[in-house]
Structure 1
Amino acid sequence: MNVLLRSKARIDRRRKQTEIDLKNEKLRVLEKISQKLESGDAAREEKEQAILQKAIEEKEAINEARRQADIRKQEAFKQQRVADRQQFLRDEEQRLREFNTMRQWEIMNRFKNAEIHNEFKENFKERSDREAQERADTRYFYGELAERKLRDADNKLLTHANKLLEEAAKHGRPDFALHKAIDVRTMFFSAV
Structure 2
Amino acid sequence: MMIAIIQYNAGNIASVRNAVERLGYPCLVTDNREQLRQADKVILPGVGEAHSAMRHLREKGLDTVIRSLQQPVLGICLGQQLLCNHSEEGDADGLGIFDAQVRKFPPEDIVPHIGWDNLTNTRGTLFDGFGAADTVYFVHSYYAGICRDTIAICNYILPFSAAMQKDNFYAVQFHPEKSAGVGERILKNFLTIPS
Which of these two proteins has the greater Rg computed from alpha carbons? 1
Q: TM tier, shorter chain? A: under 0.3
Greater strand content: 2
